[in-house]
Structure 1
């Protein structure tokens, strides 16, 4: 990443999914790195910065598209 940015706020979007609520929740909790496979136009990927996947307190950095810009949070 070229420079660190501090984005603070709330980001919301609506995405239609063809899965049960349980499967969707499992993907976000246990396999957040798979979210980009489900929404490639919105979320480009994520990296585990600290902790373990699916564990409370872990820090995940998300790469997503807002308009025409790719952002990191």
Structure 2
């Protein structure tokens, strides 16, 4: 599934794993919502959670959250 929803993946020293936050779904699911022992595993788990949330919300007839996107203007170099 190719979605426009964002994931934030951070190392958690407390949990000794990578934790995943889904800012677009912050009002729908407790954050962080999943984790992984590697960055790749955390990203895969995050994508699975996004897919599940989209499926559940769609089945329940609830609106999907609007994806939060980065402004489309070019990045500026700061010296």
Structure having greater relative contact order (Cα 8 Å, sep ≥ 6): 2
Name whichever structure is richer in helix by fraction: 2
Higher normalized strand content (fraction of residues): 1
On whether the aligned pair clears a TM of 0.5, the verdict is no
Q: What is the TM-score with the length of structure 2 in the denominator?
A: 0.28
